[in-house]
Every structure is written in structure tokens, then in C-alpha cells.
Amino acid sequence: MTFKSRMAAVGLLFLVGCTSPSVKPPTPVPSDPVAAAEWVRQGQLALEQGGKLAAIRAWREAVRLDPGNPVVVNNLAVLLIEQNQFADAATVLEQGVEFTPTVAELHYNLAVVSELYLLDLGKALSHYHRYRALTPADDEAVAGWIADLERRLD
């Protein structure tokens, strides 16, 4: 077991303790960051030329090859949201959180998608809490959203 995979397992154990019991460890994927970087480049080029669907295809492949790249995960999720593919965006963000559980922005975006588009208030609340735990500054807007969700869920 490599240091990176051990650290991912430790991070997942911490995440499991902070979220629902349904969290499972990520499925091992043969990582190929070099090939993923080429797909990232192709996706960026496609997006710059107005090819959102081509960018989505390229970035899906990049995430498959390097699921621990939170920037690509986030960019792919944003494009999926723009295409009204909210469930797919949530799935991509959930996979991103599995591989990089300490990236606050992934939790934030997963919370927003879960609350506003999927109406999964429990999941949204969980990820807003996780976002706040990972960020040093006290985000008053998120604190208000958490309070609102807690009231709605009672």
C-alpha cells in the first residue's frame, strides 16, 4: 500500500466518522495523471471553442484516469450543472469527495447541488457542515443556510 493510498484511507475513515454510515471507500482505479492531463487539456480547448459537450466527455475521461484531481472534478461538475445534469454533477462531486475528502469546495458544491437541484436536504446539511469544518473563516452565509436546513429538517 502506497503512502498516498494510506492517506486516502485515513481520510476516508475520518470522513466516515463525520457523515452517514453509507459512505464506502472508493473503488481502486488505475491512476494515470499523465494521460489525464492530456484529457484535461483537450477539455479546456473544447470549452474555449464553445464545445461544452466535448469538454464534458474529455473531463469525464480525465476524472476516470485521475479521480483525485479536485479541480477537474469541480470543473466537470460545473459544466454538468450548466447542462441541467444535476444528478450526474452530484455523482461526480461525491466521487471527488471520496478521493479528496479534505477539499472544502467539493463539499460546498455538493451541498448546493443537493439542496437546490436534488432537494436532498440531509445530504446538503452534511456537506455544508463538512465545508465549514474544513474552512478557516466563518462563512456567515453558509451558517445561515445550515440553520435554515436544520429548521426545515426538524
What percent of the chain is modeled with pLDDT above 70?
81
Q: What is the mean pLDDT of the chain?
A: 85
In a domain, 105, yes or no: yes
In a domain, 54, yes or no: yes
Number of domains in the chain: 1
Residue 92 lies in domain:
30-153
| Helices H / strands E in the chain, number of each | 8, 0
Give the range among 76-85, 99-108, 129-138 with minimum mean pLDDT: 129-138
Q: What's the whole-model pTM score?
A: 0.78
Cα–Cα distance measured from residue 147 to residue 15, given in angstroms and rounded to the nearest whole number = 22
pLDDT value, residue 28: 57
- CATH assignment of the domain containing 149: 1.25.40.10
Per-residue pLDDT reduced to its tens digit, 32-71: 999 999 999 999 999 999 999 999 999 999 999 999 999 9
In a domain, 41, yes or no: yes
**114 pLDDT band (50/70/90 cuts)?**
very high
Q: Which long-range contacts (CB under 8 A, 24 or more apart) does 105-114 make?
A: 105/70, 105/74, 106/70, 106/73, 106/74, 107/131, 107/134, 108/142, 109/74, 109/77, 109/78, 111/145, 113/77, 113/81, 113/86, 113/89, 114/90
In a domain, 14, yes or no: no
In a domain, 3, yes or no: no
In a domain, 102, yes or no: yes
Region 97-115 average pLDDT: 97
In a domain, 20, yes or no: no
In a domain, 51, yes or no: yes
Cα–Cα distance measured from residue 76 to residue 62, given in angstroms and rounded to the nearest whole number = 10
| Confidence check: pLDDT of 103 > 80 | yes
CB contact set of 72 (below 8 Å; sequence gap of 6+): 36, 40, 43, 59, 62, 63, 66
pLDDT value, residue 30: 66
